[in-house]
Amino acid sequence: MRRLWTPWAGPLLVAALAFATRLGPLLASGTLDDAIEYDDGVYYAAAAHALHGELPYRDFAFVHPPGVIWFALPFAAIGRVAGDVVGLAVARIVLCAVGALTAVLVLRLVARIAPAWSLLAGLGYAVWRLPVLTERTLLLEPLLAVLVLAALVLLVSPDGTRPSGRRALGAGLLVGAALAVKVWAAVAVVVLGFWLLWRHTARARPFAGGVAAASAALVGPAALAAPGAFVEQVVRAQAQRAAVPVPLADRFARLGDLWSLPYATIGERAPWLLPGTAALVLVLVVVRAWRVPAARPVVALAAADVALVLAGPTYWYHYLAFAAPLLVVGACAALPTPARGPLADGSERGVWGRTAYGVGLVALVALGALVQLRAVAPPDSPATVRAFAAAHRCTWFLTAAEEIRADVLSRNLADGCPRTPDLYAVLLAEEVTVQSGRARVQAESAAVQARVLVELAAADAAVTRGTGFLDEATTTVLRTQFLQVGGEAEALWWVRRG
């Protein structure tokens, strides 16, 4: 009788579930082509600017390495032809696929370290709320996660066999590409580099060569075009970034995905109960998983990544997502190997038992996750602001995300309207000189206000939303030169007087 279960069945099941949990809520809520983030608008807009001949650091402020810009170029090119909302929607679909690939890589890596738990690992990662919320749009962390995890798949073997030179080189290229996306990947460079020196000394050189080659190729052109600005924005601005107070308990709560529980109520009575539990579990996982030699580079890297995020000056929900796959792999390595039962049986019958066990368990998790993952649509319809922006040659927006939502970013750039992908990056770059020692908003930045005034001077319409971007003087210019003609929800629409 033909075998119904094949080696590809598990990965395909994991990939399908991961893709569905990421893309499904966007489709159900109608937010696939709507604004759901600030950062994804920045990265898409930076790529659109690059298509028009502008380079980060030299022509506009950008506080990360340029890798994400190069990754987003195809989507910006689609947006240039079919519209920005289409370009960003395609980018989100691709990022959902990246999340599905990461889930499959989790399965593959656990299959080498703790084979009995590989399917559960892949399915569990597929529905874990922390990576699901991150791997649905154009953010840095999904790219970091998949690149570093792919490098580990090349390096780690079940019996500790030394990786080939080609595998070490490939892993270095992947980690170098991750370093070109976000400087946090330097942790992977250090941890994996030292691990190779310790365990497989001869492979450290091709690994280091791969890191150097990939990072130089991806970072070099933009950095060499403006080396001073590159150092100021990517290195100094991040190193001197003022702390935004986020309690350590809240960071641990995000690590344990405790926001899906009634954390606020419990936290008021016992602030450290749930985060403390998450910290204790993390320590136990590290201690137990360290006993598995093949898991040690994964455990060391996961611990270093978590420590980096917990100790950082700022914190957003997606920061820990790049460590999520490593945490799943480490957790599975810490689990005991079953001595008997469906998880220990390698026969086809055992495979079906393991599958039924895994699918049944994860189905419950997925049901709860999907309920929580229902995306909330913005209070106003994008159709109205798109119609307003389409009626004017140069419409100014506070953020790139809003400009993409109105489907006019590429058109504005083609018409020569001065625009800035990220006003917050302008503020951070200014902070290197100002050194206020505290977190400021855009309204407190002279550099941001000067840039806004340049852009407003070239605009014949404007859309504003929220507060914290414009100071009193800039607001006066807006009200003097523009007339408010309407709005919707929190958005206000303006047209130039006369």
Give the pLDDT band (50/70/90) at residue 302: very high
Look at 5 and 273; give whichever has higher pLDDT. Answer: 273
* 266 pLDDT above the threshold of 70: no
Q: What is the largest CA-CA distance in the chain?
A: 82
Average pLDDT, the chain: 85
In three-state form (DSSP H/G/I as H, E/B as E, the rest C), the secondary structure along the chain is: CCCCCCCCHHHHHHHHHHHHHHHHHHHHHCCCCCCCCCHHHHHHHHHHHHHCCCCECCCECCCCCCHHHHHHHHHHHHHHHHCHHHHHHHHHHHHHHHHHHHHHHHHHHHHHHCHHHHHHHHHHHHHCHHHHHHCCCCCHHHHHHHHHHHHHHHHCCCCCCCCCHHHHHHHHHHHHHHHCCCHHHHHHHHHHHHHHHHHCHHHHHHHHHHHHHHHHHHHHHHHHHCHHHHHHHHHHHHHCCCCCCCCHHHHHHHHCCHHHCCHHHHHHHCCCHHHHHHHHHHHHHHHHHCCCHHHHHHHHHHHHHHHHHHHCCCCCCCHHHHHHHHHHHHHHHHCCCCCCCCCCCCCHHHHHHHHHHHHHHHHHHHHHHHHHCCCCCCCCCHHHHHHHHHCCCCEEECCHHHHHHCCCHHHHHHCCCCCCCCHHHHHHHHHHHHCCCCCCCHHHCHHHHHHHHHHHHCCCEEEEECCCCCCHHHHHHHHHHEEEEEEECCEEEEEECC
pLDDT tens per residue across span 335-387: 887 654 445 544 444 555 556 656 666 665 555 455 445 545 555 678 899 99
* 393 pLDDT above the threshold of 90: yes
* 394 pLDDT above the threshold of 90: yes
Residue pair 233/194 in contact by the 8 Å Cβ criterion: no
Average pLDDT over residues 400-417: 95
**Range ranked top by mean pLDDT from 266-275, 304-313, 444-453:** 444-453
Residue pair 264/326 in contact by the 8 Å Cβ criterion: no
Average pLDDT over residues 9-15: 89
Strands 491-496 and 461-465: what pairing?
Answer: antiparallel
pLDDT tens per residue across span 49-60: 999 999 999 999
Residue pair 388/461 in contact by the 8 Å Cβ criterion: yes
Angle at 299 between CA 298 and CA 302, to 5 degrees: 85
What percentage of the chain carries pLDDT values higher than 90?
56
Look at 247 and 109; give whichever has higher pLDDT. Answer: 109
* 94 pLDDT above the threshold of 60: yes
Look at 379 and 45; give whichever has higher pLDDT. Answer: 45
Residue 56's pLDDT is what?
97
pLDDT tens per residue across span 439-487: 677 778 899 999 999 999 999 999 998 766 899 999 999 999 999 998 8
Residue 51's pLDDT is what?
96
Residue 497's pLDDT is what?
93
Domain boundaries, the chain: 9-372, 382-496
Give the whole-angstrom CA distance, residue 54 versus residue 488: 33
Give the pLDDT band (50/70/90) at residue 259: very low
pLDDT tens per residue across span 98-111: 999 999 999 999 99
Give the whole-angstrom CA distance, residue 65 versus residue 496: 37
* 136 pLDDT above the threshold of 90: yes
| Of the candidate ranges 168-182, 245-259, 280-294, 344-358, the one whose mean pLDDT is the lowest | 344-358
Residue pair 19/96 in contact by the 8 Å Cβ criterion: yes
Residue 358's pLDDT is what?
61
Look at 123 and 458; give whichever has higher pLDDT. Answer: 458
Average pLDDT over residues 64-77: 98
Look at 273 and 285; give whichever has higher pLDDT. Answer: 285
